[in-house]
Structure 1
Amino acid sequence: MARIESRFGSTSTALEVVEGIDLTGRRAVVTGASSGIGVETARALATAGAEVVLAVRDVAAGERTASDIARTSGRDDVTVARLDLADLASVDAFTAAWSGPLHVLVANAGVMDTPFGRTRQGFETQFGTNHLGHFALATGLHGALAAAGDARVVVVSSSGHAASPVVFDDLFFERRPYDPGLAYGQSKTANVLFAVEATRRWAADGVTANALMPGGIWTPLQRHWSPEQRAAAEEQARRAEGAGLFAMKTPEQGAATSVFLATAPEVAGIGGRYFEDCREAEVVDRLQGLHGVVPHALDPVAARRLWDVSQELVDTARAAA
C-alpha cells in the first residue's frame, strides 16, 4: 500500500493547501478553533467556501475569532457553538443540537502535560479530553457524517504518541504514578487508533478518518509547562534548527496538514493513516526527531479494543449522570 505524497511540505500554509479547492455547500466543525492552529484551520476552510462552526469552550473567544475569520475570508456564515470536551453533557448537547449533514469534522482541541486531574465524569484529564471527548463527539455525529456521503474526520495527534501506547490496564493512572508526558502520549496514541477503527467501522457509510502530527508550533497548548520546561524546549528547538534538523512552524503552517486531510483529492476515500507535513508518515520503530509513526499507534487490534472500551466508559458515565 503506497504512502500518500503531495506537492506540499513542512513550510506550506493552510491557505496554500486550499488554493483552488471549492468547499461551497460543505459544512465543517473545528474543535478548539479559538486559538492556535484551530483558528488557521477554520480560516482556510471558510476561505475555500465551507460553512464553518467553531466548537469552543470559551464562546467569547470563539466570537472574536469568528469575526476575524469572517473579515479575512469574506464569509458571513462562520458560527460559534459551545463545546467542553471534558464534560460529556456538553458534548451530548452539541451533538443533539446538530441537524443536517456534516462533511468535515476536525478534532483539533486538546490539552497537554496537565497536572493530574479529572474531567467532569471522572476520567483522567488528558485521556478524557483529547480522546474520550472527541470519541463521544464523533460517534454522536456519526449520522450527520454518514448523511454527507463522503465525510472526513481529521484527528490532530502528535509525535508525543511515541511516548506511550494505550495502557488498557491503567488508563487513568490509578495504579501507577501519574506522569504528564505519558498521559499525553497515551491520549495521542488513542487519537490515531480512533482514526484506524473509525475508518474500519464507517468507511461503508462514506466516512473516513485520518490522524496527523501538525509539527512543532508555539501555541497555548504549552501553557502547563514550567518556565524551565519552556526555556529548555526553546533551546532544544534552536539547536535543532541551527543544525538543519528541524524547524518550528507558524500556526498557519501547523494547520496545513489538518486542512490537507480535510480537503485534498489525494486522500479522498483514504482513512486509518497518520500524516505529517501534508504527506503520510513513515512507520518507524523509533521517531526521527518528530517524524514518523510508531507501530503501536496503528495496531488494528488495539484500535478495536480501544473503541469498545471507550464506548463502555462513555455509556457508563452517561448512565450514572
Structure 2
Amino acid sequence: MTGTTPPTDRLTTPFGAGSTAADVISGIDLSGRRALVTGASSGIGIETARALAGAGAEVTLAVRDTEAGEAAAADITGTTGNKQLHVAALDLADLASVTAFTSAWEGPLHILVNNAGVMRTPETRTPRGWELQFATNHLGHFTLTTGLYPSLAAAGGARVVSLSSRAHLRSPVVFDDIHFRQRPYDPADAYAQSKTANVLFAVEADRRWADDGITVNAVHPGGILDTNLVRHLSKEALDAAVSAAGHAFKTREQGAATSVLAATWPALDGVGGRYFEDCNQAVPHEPGMDNGVAGHALDPRAAERLWRVSVEMIG
C-alpha cells in the first residue's frame, strides 16, 4: 500500500466552474473502455454517462428504475450514436441488490462513477436499521465498489469517482452514533455525514488499491437545481438555498464536468485520494469559506476506521 497521509501538492487544470462534461472530455478516446455510472437515468448521472459514451466507452447505467434507465440509454444513443449502452437494476439501499449486481458483472471495469444518492430524506431506516442516507450514499457504494474490485484491478489503470458534496463541511462521520440512534435525527446532518464518508472512502480505497493500478478520487459536482436529488426539499427550502447561496448554480452538463474529469483526464493517471471541485483539486477549507475540503474528510485515521466499520456493518 502507498502512503498514509493525504497529498499536499494541489493539482490544477485548464477547466473551471463553467466547464461542461463535453469540454473536459474533448479529444479523449475511450474506445475499448468499459464504464459504469450509478444513478444514470437522470440529472448529472445521465450527462456523465452521455460524455463517456460520446468518447466511445461502453457504458452501463446502473439504476433503480430500469424503465427510466432504458429511456436514458436511448436518449444517449440518439445524441452520441453509441449503441454500447446497457441498463442494469441496482438499489443501493438493498445490499442483496448490490451483491446480485456485482456477482453478475463479468470482465474488466475501467471507470466506475458512484454518482447515485439521496439527500435530506425524512428519517428512514433500511431493514437492517441503518439510516437511509448513510446506507445509500456510502454503504451501498462501498459494497458495490469493493465487490467490483477484481474487475477494476483486471482493467489496469482503472478509475473510481466518489461523488461527495460541499455539504461534507457541515459534519464529520460521527462514529459513536452513525445511524442517529442516540441523537435527534437531522436530515442535513445525516446527508453531510454521508458526504464526508464518500471522501473518506476515496482516501482509504486509493491507499489500499493504488498499487493495483486503481485510483480513487472524490468530487463535488457543484450546486445543481435541475436534479432529482433536491426532491425532498420544500419550495421554501429551495428558495432559501437560492437566496443564501454564495455560489452560482450549475447546469447538469456543468455539474457532470468534475466527475468526467476525475474519470478520464489524462493528467490524473495515478493521482488519487483527492477531492475535486469546479474541475480542480480543492483548497483546504478555512472558516468563512463556502468551498474547499475539510480536514476531517481527508483524515487518514478516520478513513481507515470508516473502512473497518463499513466491513463490520455489511458483514
What displacement does 1:231 show? 1.8
Tell me, in whole angstroms, the C-alpha distance in 2 between the residues paired with 1:74 and 1:24.
13
Q: Verify the 8 A CA contact 1:88 1:121 in the aligned structure 2.
A: no
Tell me, in whole angstroms, the C-alpha distance in 1 between the residues paired with 2:63 and 2:101.
11
Instruction: Name the structure 2 match of 1:292.
Output: 292
Q: Deviations over 1:162-182 (max 9, x none)?
A: 111000000000000000010
Structure 1 SS opposite 2:184: coil
Instruction: Specify which of 98, 111, 114 is matched with residue 104 of structure 1.
Output: 111
Instruction: Specify which of 238, 241, 244 is matched with residue 236 of structure 1.
Output: 244
Which sections of structure 2, spanning at least 5 residues, go unmatched? 1-7
Structure 1-normalised TM-score?
0.94
Structure 2 SS opposite 1:272: coil
What displacement does 1:287 show? 6.0
Tell me, in whole angstroms, the C-alpha distance in 2 between the residues paired with 1:287 and 1:30.
34
For residues 80-95 of structure 1, the aligned pairs below 5 Å read 80-95=87-102
* Amino acid of the structure 2 residue aligned with 1:308: R
Whether 2:284 is the aligned partner of 1:277: answer no
For residues 60-139 of structure 1, the aligned pairs below 5 Å read 60-139=67-146
Tell me, in whole angstroms, the C-alpha distance in 1 between the residues paired with 2:294 and 2:309.
22
What displacement does 1:216 show? 0.8
Tell me, in whole angstroms, the C-alpha distance in 1 between the residues paired with 2:25 and 2:235.
37
* Amino acid of the structure 1 residue aligned with 2:108: P
Structure 2-normalised TM-score?
0.96
What displacement does 1:217 show? 0.5
Tell me, in whole angstroms, the C-alpha distance in 2 between the residues paired with 1:215 and 1:118.
28
Alignment RMSD? 0.9
Q: Verify the 8 A CA contact 1:126 1:183 in the aligned structure 2.
A: yes
What displacement does 1:35 show? 1.0
* Amino acid of the structure 2 residue aligned with 1:234: V
What displacement does 1:265 show? 1.1
Instruction: Name the structure 1 match of 2:310.
Output: 310
How many correspondences in the alignment?
A: 307
Tell me, in whole angstroms, the C-alpha distance in 2 between the residues paired with 1:134 and 1:108.
9
Instruction: Specify which of 146, 156, 167 is matched with residue 149 of structure 1.
Output: 156
Instruction: Name the structure 2 match of 1:215.
Output: 222
What displacement does 1:233 show? 1.5
Structure 2 SS opposite 1:15: helix
Identity of aligned residues (%): 64
Structure 1 runs, 4 residues or longer, greater than 6 Å off: none
Instruction: Specify which of 188, 191, 201 is matched with residue 181 of structure 1.
Output: 188
* Amino acid of the structure 1 residue aligned with 2:236: E
Q: Deviations over 1:44-72 (max 9, x none)?
A: 00000100000000000000000000111
Tell me, in whole angstroms, the C-alpha distance in 2 between the residues paired with 1:119 and 1:63.
27
Q: Verify the 8 A CA contact 1:4 1:266 in the aligned structure 2.
A: no
Tell me, in whole angstroms, the C-alpha distance in 2 between the residues paired with 1:18 and 1:122.
41
What displacement does 1:247 show? 1.4
What displacement does 1:227 show? 2.1
Structure 2 SS opposite 1:221: helix
Which sections of structure 1, spanning at least 5 residues, go unmatched? 241-245, 316-321
Tell me, in whole angstroms, the C-alpha distance in 2 between the residues paired with 1:121 and 1:24.
41
* Amino acid of the structure 1 residue aligned with 2:301: V
Instruction: Name the structure 2 match of 1:243.
Output: none
Structure 2 SS opposite 1:155: strand
Tell me, in whole angstroms, the C-alpha distance in 1 between the residues paired with 2:71 and 2:287.
41
For residues 39-78 of structure 1, the aligned pairs below 5 Å read 39-78=46-85
What displacement does 1:301 show? 0.1
Instruction: Name the structure 2 match of 1:8.
Output: 15
Instruction: Name the structure 1 match of 2:4.
Output: none
Tell me, in whole angstroms, the C-alpha distance in 2 between the residues paired with 1:249 and 1:152.
25
Whether 2:196 is the aligned partner of 1:195: answer no
What displacement does 1:95 show? 0.2
Instruction: Name the structure 2 match of 1:167.
Output: 174
* Amino acid of the structure 1 residue aligned with 2:249: M
